[in-house]
Amino acid sequence: MPERHRGRPRAFDRDDAVLAAARLFWRRGYSGTSTRDLTTALGLSTSSLYAAFGSKAGLFEEAVRTYAERYREIHQHAVAEPTFRSVLDRLLVDSVHEFTQPDDAHPGCLINSAVMIDSTSTLDTSAYIAELRHANHLTLLARIEQAIGDGDLPAHTDATVLTDLIQSIWDGLSVQSNLGTPRENLLATAHLARELICRQITAPTA
């Protein structure tokens, strides 16, 4: 008798499966997404899903890491810019473009979706997101401190406060994108934030 092959079907595409799962988790949250929901959306049997990702929690973690890691890259590319103004512009604008990619290529920003982290099964993913946010903060803080040292920012600039402000703006843009705010509106907000920050920090002190 011919050997029967078990496991994932030959048509399985991991990237497509992770995107479909991420989109489902984004809409329903971890606890609100059942294994049956996932197997239906991914076109996999339960055994195939477990063979590919280990568990529902494993699939969730891979989905979050796949799309959230892009924000680390955006921070790293932004801080390579030659001036603080261009750092800020690239960070905010590139992030907005990432937040608002077409639905068929991106599930939405997973970092600031509170519904994503709602189970003890997602503790590892929660820790990863916390690490990612902290790493991005330190990356930006180091670049701002460099700008102060180079004379690109005034010596009186509080690097920590400025970093916190920029990350708060980043978070706000992320949340607004998840609420469906159009890209052009988010870009206008990003550009205004850049102008206000640059104007304020270069204004003479009393």
* CATH of residue 158: 1.10.357.10
pLDDT at 118: 62
CB atoms near residue 141 (< 10 Å): 18
- 141-189 tens-digit pLDDT: 999 999 999 999 999 999 999 999 999 999 999 989 888 899 999 999 9
**Do the domain assignments include residue 22?**
no
Q: Is residue 47 part of a domain?
A: no
Assess if residue 21 is contained within a domain. no
65 token code pair: 């890491």
CA distances from 38 to 17, 22, 33 (A): 9, 10, 7
DSSP 115: G
Give the separation between CA 62 and CA 42, rounded to whole angstroms.
14
Would 92 be classed as within a structural domain? Answer: yes
What is the tally of structural domains in the chain? 1
Joined tokens for residue 69: 């890691």
Handedness of CA 28, 33, 36, 40 (dihedral sign): positive
Position 29 in a domain = no
Asked whether residue 26 is assigned to any structural domain, the reply reads no
Q: Is residue 117 included in any domain, yes or no?
A: yes
Q: Look up the domain containing 152 and give its range.
A: 67-202
Instruction: Identify the band that residue 27 occupies on the pLDDT scale cut at 50, 70 and 90.
Output: confident
Report which listed range, 83-92, 104-113, 120-129, 195-204, is most confident.
83-92
50 band by pLDDT with thresholds 50, 70 and 90: very high
Which pTM value belongs to this model? Answer: 0.82
Spatial separation of the C-alpha atoms in residues 7 and 46, rounded to whole Å: 10
